[in-house]
Chain A
Amino acid sequence: MKKFVAFMLLVALTAAQPLVSAQKRTKSQNLTEEQRIVHVLNRLGFGARPGDVERVKSMGLENYINQQLNPEKITDTVADNKVSDLNVLNMSTAELYEKFPQPGQLLRQLQARGMLPADLAEARENRVKGGANTSSAEMPKNDSMPTQEMSPDAARNNQNPQPPGNPLENEKYRKVLQDYYRENGLQQPQRIMAELHASRILRAVYSERQLQEVMVDFWTNHFNVFAGKGADRWLLPSYDRDTIRPNAMSKFSTLLQATAQSPAMLFYLDNFQSVSPNANANRGRGPLQRLLAERAPQPQQQRRGINENYARELMELHTLGVDGGYTQKDVQEVARCFTGWTIFQPRGGAAAVNAMRSGEGARRNAGTFFFNQRVHDDGEKTVLGHKIPAGGGIKDGLTVLDILAHHPSTAKFIATKLVRHFVSDNPPQALVDRVAATYTKSDGDIREMLKTIFFSKEFNSNEAYRAKIKRPFELVVSAIRTLGAETNGGPQTHQWIARMGEPLYGFQTPNGYSDAAESWVNTGGLLERMNFGLALANNRIPGTKVSLVKLNGDQSKVMDDYLKTVLAGEISSATRETLLKQLEPADPVTKVVGLILGTPEFQRQ
């Protein structure tokens, strides 16, 4: 008995080990050409569409990889057309403030200018009165999200927090508000994120620039911004379009500076309101101050102190890594360097009201980066042993970014993250070292680092093949692609990604979504993956349409066809037999496909 227990313990321990490749292979086996193609389509992109494997085979795998490394040379008409209806993508932040105002903020501004229609005023009043929320005094403020942070639970469930107030009156208020928005050509701000989500899904599904989309996803997580924080939902379309996308395969230092000056990051990590405590004496009422004073007075926007949040995360999460060799003193000094890096009209001022009243909306530069010399700490600083002389102004922050981008810890940290993403949850140290060396040699050229990875023996090894568990976004997109389904990327599709735990721009803390299997494989998450496959195969996701063709032949022929399409035919004979046993002759093809999408094999890439 004792022996038996010991044996069972061994079994138990083996089973509980971190997730590794489904098929155990010996090192001597090399990937077949077809496997290499499937591997590249999975890792450099979001999986194969019907016909992709053959296409890559005929053009040559190396050519395909090189093509993907140069996305600017790939025409992408289909994806461009798919996102052409998403107006948000082409609007400046100022326009977004003008057309998608926050209801609470809008109503306050209308009231302040005597423009609040009586029915809207009454509906709002009734909603607040006798509400279930005892702190009703806070209601108007609470209603105006720009100064409040959305609770992460709300984000987790991908819904807006329950509005405070009297639930019976909520419905009426919503309707009156909706009418007012429609009559004035406005839209609710939730629409912004819905369109941004759609664009990410559509491009991942349809773009020929697959690697570009993978890198956008990678950097969006590396430089994470949470849509639920204050004004960030208005700032994120610009973040995706102007900060991440153009730099996803450029130099790391360029990308780093773009994020440092992006309003989305400045807002998310509070740097936009970090000011030198000694700067008050210099603050006259120059033209800039008068401009700023045009906004309705909001005491919480007064800028009175230094904020270390960005400085710390910049080093811990964006560059050096937590053990990268900086101290609390460095954090304080870096924070001093970035004082004055801020956003012009961070919440858009009264853009919507001004547009309605006088036709003059937001100033064109509302919600954009600017350096405010008046609140900058211009004294001497020391960062990681480098002396930064007094009087540097905006150059202080740029110098810090330069120091960080050229620090060996950054090379190591970025290399580790890239290898973990593209190769394995346990990044092979030898490859990490080579990628870090490429970083140093090439001045942080992202493309060069990717090349080092893609043409390495570690990437092309059996150990790496299907060794990564797909994250929910990857799972949803790859399922749509493998079936050749059509999607509009709408909220119901995004809802599934959220349900499995990865709402886009929905990770509250700055570290971004995990890239390791243990964060994604748990009982609840796995169940949702199976449910997603069934919903997709049965066309129960509005906005996404699958046309499954039941080919002639018996169930085993139908099944084998789909096993070939979805899993490149790679499934153990035992699982194939089990699958086949589940199928009655009369079972619809949706059942076959639903089951295949839910197999352990399809969760891997």
Chain B
Amino acid sequence: MNRRFFLKSGSITLASVGMSLSAPSFLERLVLGNETKTGKRKTLIAIFQRGAVDGLNVVVPFGESNYYELRPSIAIPKPASGNADAAINLDGFFGLHPAINSFKPLWDSKRLAIIHASGSPDNTRSHFDAQDYMESATPGLKSTSDGWLNRYLQSKKDPESSLFRAVSITKTMPRVLQGRESAVAMSSISEFQIRAGKSSENLQNGFEAIYARENDSLAGMGRETFEAVNFLKKANPAQYQPENGAAYPRNPFGNSLLQIAQLIKAGVGLEIAFTDIGGWDTHVNQGNSRGQLGNLLQQFSTGIAALYQDLGPRMDDVVVLTMSEFGRTVRENGNRGTDHGHANAMFVMGNSVRGGKVYGQWPGLKSDQLYEGRDLALTTDFRDVFAEIATRHLGSKDAKSIFPGYSLNTSKFKGFLG
């Protein structure tokens, strides 16, 4: 019996709530949610950099002379010892932006893989369309109603599924998780309850009873809400202390990642975590090693590095994936910024990742190699990256159903997961 059926059906929800409150064995099974019959539960943490990050200044092709010719004021200097503003050498051709030096140890220990020149084959340069396509994973098709992470949930029914199988640390449910399978969106764990002082419990009971009575989908959402609230209370995340000396940056993004680590460690059965970080739309005054992009990259990378450290050996079962809707023009624009482009760079991190390598074919930056004469060309479809993670990390047996209309073929997988 799939537990979701209990939650979705109006008539027997009371029984379900009653059970979760009175049957410790059921709860225990959820609390031990990281163990499943087939071994440890795998988790994906997907991070969306909204606004289109300039991948060419994140994973810098310093071996390309055209890179420096086309970006006179914003290029990241070639690696040079003693120059803190220079790119961090990865493989003699690519280097990391110096603001993400906290990723260097992950690269050195082969836990960080990069897929360059990747993204959506659609040529839209609209943020909204491109984000839509990346989240629905059906580039060019706007009518897809659900997101690919939700279709992953649909593709792999989990009889022991937790309410927290999919959680988005955002105010609203992102497109990527919208769909038939339920997911939880919250901005912070501690606020996720009825907040009315001494009367909280009494009032929560009142709301639960009201929402249990009705049959429309708003009421269904209410029932799920209270199941989630009740379960989180048991997990007692208020006592959370990061481990291994991890220090999350004190900004909204660092805080979101901290919440995700809390949920993973609380054993709530988290399989898909999502959060986002915005501000990457650097049309104007982007900066080079320092400045607007550098500051954002620092927030971004120190947050992820802290998460990695905090989770410690749990990273054996966790993969972190970063994505952004498209790249930016190879040539800097008239405002020392960059405009909407095409292919971009993605990061994949985890102890099970075959890291220390930049995957994907490099298309080059000579003018005849550019896409539409201006942008980094695409050599890896993002669906091949998503599908490899869904198949080889999350264990989906039916990745084709996650990517409708795409001819999926494991031979196109890059091999960053074994």
Contact = CB atoms under 8 A, between A and B. Distances in A.
Interface stretch (B21-29, B192-200, B353-361, B403-411): B192-200
Interface stretch (B180-188, B262-270, B306-314): B180-188
Nearest to B256: A153
Interface in B1-29: 1, 4-5, 8-11
Contact of A138 (B142, B207, B290, B335): B290
Given A20-B216, A154-B252, A534-B203, A599 B195 contact: no
Interface string B157-200: 00000000000001111000010100011110000111110010
Interface in A129-171: 134-135, 137-138, 141-142, 147-154, 156-157, 161-162, 164
A304 B295 CA distance: 24
Contact of A524 (B123, B184, B277, B294): B184
A525 interface: yes
B5 A527 contact: no
Contacts of A21: 216
A9 to B, nearest CB: 7
B243 to A, nearest CB: 21
Contacts of B178: 518
B218 A469 contact: yes
Shortest beta-carbon contacts, A-B, top 9:
A305-B334, A152-B278, A304-B334, A153-B252, A582-B206, A300-B285, A12-B8, A524-B186, A523-B225
Contact of A509 (B127, B184, B291): B127
A135 B296 CA distance: 11
Interface in B115-161: 123, 125-129, 142
Contact of B295 (A5, A135, A300, A308): A135
A161 B251 contact: yes
Given A135-B99, A582-B206, A523 B127 contact: no
B314 to A, nearest CB: 25
Interface of A: 5, 8-9, 11-13, 15-22, 134-135, 137-138, 141-142, 147-154, 156-157, 161-162, 164, 270, 273, 275, 277, 300, 302-309, 312, 316-317, 322-323, 328, 469, 499, 501, 508-511, 518-527, 530-531, 534, 538, 572, 574-575, 578-579, 581-582, 591, 594-595, 598-600, 603-604
B279 interface: yes
Given A11-B10, A595-B207, A600-B214, 12 more contacts: A12-B8, A153-B279, A273-B334, A275-B334, A317-B128, A322-B126, A522-B184, A527-B229, A530-B207, A534-B196, A572-B213, A579-B206
B277 A153 contact: yes
Given A135-B294, A523-B228, A16 B180 contact: yes
B193 A527 contact: yes
Contact of B335 (A141, A151, A307, A579): A307
Interface string B271-311: 00000011101011101001110111011000000000000
Contact of B128 (A153, A511, A579): A511
Contact of A151 (B123, B185, B207, B296): B296
A12 B218 contact: no
Nearest to A153: B252
A316 B126 contact: yes
B218 A521 contact: yes
B350 to A, nearest CB: 24
Contact of A8 (B9, B184, B205, B218): B9
Contacts of B129: 322
A304 B192 contact: no
Contacts of A150: 279
Contacts of B173: 518-519, 522
A523 B196 contact: no
25 contacts: A9-B5, A12-B8, A16-B180, A19-B218, A20-B217, A22-B218, A135-B298, A147-B285, A156-B171, A156-B187, A305-B333, A307-B333, A307-B335, A323-B142, A523-B221, A527-B229, A530-B207, A531-B194, A534-B194, A534-B195, A578-B210, A582-B210, A594-B203, A595-B206, A604-B218
A542 B247 CA distance: 35
Contacts, number: 229
A18 B146 CA distance: 12
Interface string B208-238: 0111111111111110110011000000000
Contacts of A161: 251
A309 B205 CA distance: 50
Nearest to B222: A526
B382 interface: no
Contact of B218 (A137, A308, A508, A603): A603
B265 to A, nearest CB: 21
A161 B213 CA distance: 43
Contacts of B1: 5
B70 to A, nearest CB: 13
Contacts of B215: 15
Contacts of B186: 523-524
B50 interface: yes
A578 B213 contact: yes
Nearest to B217: A19
Nearest to B214: A600
Given A277-B334, A303-B334, A591-B203, A15 B278 contact: no
B250 interface: yes
Contacts of B196: 531, 534, 538, 594
A272 B130 CA distance: 25
Contact of B8 (A15, A20, A578): A15
B71 to A, nearest CB: 14
Nearest to B212: A578
A524 B9 CA distance: 20
A307 B285 contact: no
Given A11-B9, A575-B210, A16 B217 contact: yes
B5 A134 contact: no
